Amino acid sequence: MSAVVRSDRKGGDFGWARAAWQQAGFGPVLLVLLLAVNIAVNPARFAPGAWGTLIGLAAPLIGAALASTPAILGGRGGIDISVGPLMGFINALIVLVLVQRLGIETPWIIVPAAVLIGAAVGAGNGVLATVLRIQPIVATLGTYLILIGITLTILPAPTGTVPAWLRALGGPLSILPLTAVFLAWIAIRRLPYYDHLMAVGSDDRAAYTAGIPVTLVRFLSYVITGAFAGVAALMMTALIGSADPSIGPTYTLMAISAVALGGVSLAGGRGGLLGAAIGAIDIFLLQSALTYFNLSTFVLQIAYGVVLVLAIVLTALHERLLGRAKETA
Amino acid sequence: MMSRWTSDQWRVAGSLTVAVGLHVLGTVLIPGYSSEFSIRAMLVLASLLAIASIGQTLVVIIGGIDLSIPFLIGFANVVTAQLYGQGMNFALVCLVVVALACLVGAVNGLISSSLKLHPLIVTLGIGTIVQGTVLLWTGGFPSGSAPPALSEFVSIGGSAGVLPVPWLVPCFVVLAALIVVVLARTPYGRRVFALGSNPRAAPLALINPIAMWTITFAVSAGFAAVTGILLLGFTGSAYGEVGQPYLFQTIAAVVIGGTALVGGRGSYVGTVAGALVLTEINTLLIGLGLQPSVVQAVLGAVIVLLVSFYGRDPHVRTSI
């Protein structure tokens, strides 16, 4: 903690770089490395003209990772494993109910609907995990199964199309929804709520004795997670251009890996959305590079596991080193 | 003699009552629910789930979680079929597979505890590596088959001497008794609980947390491998994804059985009860003619409902 404060106070030329290093560990290093490899082997794909499509491809995973972060920051086992199925559920509702059945195509209804459904399910998770105090992984496992079940019931097979504006969000305009999430988070960071969340995540007993409404703060973190998952669902819908029950759930574990890769502590109270996004981009770039080398998906899976374990091990070793240096100083 | 029940025993009794209640409900609602075949099938399925959950129970009691179980089940399933198909001695195959799995599990425990990393992410990463390696080795198309003796051992129609159940069920009962004794009566078992209930005090009592985590995760992986081998006998052919349903089912069985995910509290009898509850719910809902997707949704609701009755965490104000 004191290291972060120190770098802020100095605020030197590379203060932000040091802050990124402190927050995200090896995530940014990996990002630079993978980006260089990708640009070297496949310049056409990474040319500025193709950025829209590229970001559109990466967006659902980044969105899922961003969405997973607030609940984890709340600490004491806080986690939402229902983010992936929630994305699939919202995807099915938008395409099947709003677009196909009701014929609503305007973004002024679809976007708020996605965010509100997400926030509502998030509130449900929040009640289970913080008011009923069921262990978050079990509570959201329940929601996970319920959401997958409902999605498969109303949508047994992929179907449907999406309006043109939504498809554009998966291509040329793909940066918009991501920017929206980050702006929302920047706004949240300026509220006292953010400090409360980090305090609760670091030490909920101390936070409670300091008068912070621990239950409410944690509950709201699930609502934010749900609302962000709504945006991630929009990005996923934009990318696949239809309703597909099988894609959403695959994002859960990848998103949690991305969050850990980005230096967000699964114990809570440490990390942020920037780190989570970097972790998600790492995973995307890794997949992209390995796919380019035409390696089988099996190798991809091994590499993905190895990078995940190595990155968190290196981050832990680095932190340990920092801690020792501080003790001797 | 009326002895006083601890809250743990109440939880176990609660989940057993739910299992019995579900069975009575099924018998009333569905003709043939209590038929010999149906009971045999449920016993076999519950035994398989309970064996896969042995490791999860131990790992959760020391305060961890193991997401590598489904990957190791798939690993054991595929590798056993492959090696046996290549003409290797079956007993040797089992030994090799279980030993390899234990090694993987030991790595899980060692990394998580020595670097204080969250086991959720470590086991997920290691599990992914294991699965990728297996897929690479078999090229995605596992071959080989199960030895007839193994199929006989787990077959729903099999019989163990005079008992009308396959040998799996009596063997499992003995195994479960062993696990209960190990947890209650051996130094290892007591250390598991001590470490889980107070990770900071345990080292002061000369309990080595790193050794405990390494051993316990190795045991967990070992039993996952055993489940994978048994599933090979059950389905007859290898399938790399066979373990996937066990990812969340083992956690659900442990939690329904009253073991707390924060560690230090729980019992294997509870997990067995949890496995019975899950099997009963599944059979009941499918017997009622519901779609698999609806069954999944109801299962999710039931898990939340059961845990909200007896698996709730204390409020933060009680910890001050």
Instruction: Yes or no: say if B238 and B144 are a contact pair by the CB < 8 Å rule.
Output: yes
Question: B64-90 burial by CB neighbour count: b if 16+ within 10 A, else e?
Answer: bbbbbbbbbbbbbbbbbbbbbeeeeee
A contacts of B251 (beta carbons < 8 Å)? 137-138, 141
Say yes or no to pLDDT of B313 above 60.
yes
Q: Which of B112, B278, B304, B308 to mutate to test the interface with A (most CBs of A within 10 A)?
A: B304
* pLDDT tens-digit map of A174-231: 899 999 999 999 999 999 999 999 999 999 999 999 999 999 999 999 999 999 999 9
Closest CA to B313 of A6, A121, A218, A159: A218
In a domain? residue A201: yes
Region A79-94 average pLDDT: 95
Instruction: Yes or no: say if B74 and B228 are a contact pair by the CB < 8 Å rule.
Output: yes
* pLDDT confidence of residue A125: 97
Min Cα distance A268 → chain B (Å) is 11
Instruction: Yes or no: say if A260 and A244 are a contact pair by the CB < 8 Å rule.
Output: no
* pLDDT confidence of residue A24: 57
Closest CA to A22 of A300, A256, A275, A253: A275
Of B124, B129, B314, the CB nearest to A257: B124
Confidence of residue A327 (pLDDT cuts 50, 70, 90): low
In a domain? residue A71: yes
Region B10-17 average pLDDT: 85
Residue A11 exposed, middle or buried by CB count within 10 Å (0-12, 13-18, 19+): exposed
Q: Which tokens hold the place of B304?
A: 């939340």
Query: What does the CA dihedral B308, B313, B316, B317 come to, rounded to 10 degrees?
Result: 80
Whether B314 has its CB under 8 Å from any CB of chain A: the answer is yes
* pLDDT confidence of residue A5: 40
Locus of tokens 């690993």: B75
* pLDDT confidence of residue A318: 77
What is the chain B residue with the closest CA to A303? B129
Region B141-147 average pLDDT: 84
Q: Which of A145, A264, A304 to mutate to test the interface with B (most CBs of B within 10 A)?
A: A145
In a domain? residue A8: no
Instruction: Yes or no: say if A67 and A85 are a contact pair by the CB < 8 Å rule.
Output: no
Region B27-50 average pLDDT: 91
Q: Which of B130, B255, B285, B307 to mutate to test the interface with A (most CBs of A within 10 A)?
A: B307
Sequence-ordered strand ranges (E) for chain A: none
Min Cα distance A221 → chain B (Å) is 17
Between the alpha carbon of residue B234 and those of residues B87, B149, B166, the distances in Å are 20, 11, 11
Confidence of residue A15 (pLDDT cuts 50, 70, 90): low
Min Cα distance A313 → chain B (Å) is 7
Of A133, A153, A209, the CB nearest to B320: A209
* pLDDT tens-digit map of A90-141: 999 999 999 988 988 899 999 999 999 999 999 999 999 999 999 898 899 9
Region A82-94 average pLDDT: 96
A contacts of B136 (beta carbons < 8 Å)? 296, 298-299, 302
Domain span holding position A102: 44-248
**Max Cα distance, chain A (Å):** 67
Question: What ranges do the domains of chain B cover?
Answer: 35-309
Query: What does the CA dihedral B212, B215, B221, B224 come to, rounded to 10 degrees?
Result: -90
More confident residue, B238 or B97: B97
In a domain? residue A30: no
* pLDDT tens-digit map of A291-303: 887 777 788 888 8
Say yes or no to pLDDT of A8 above 50.
no
CA distance B280 to B276: 6
Question: What pTM was computed for the model?
Answer: 0.88
How many domains in chain A?
1
More confident residue, B161 or B109: B109
How high is the ipTM of this complex?
0.86
Which CATH architecture group holds B35-309? Answer: Orthogonal Bundle (1.10)
In a domain? residue A227: yes
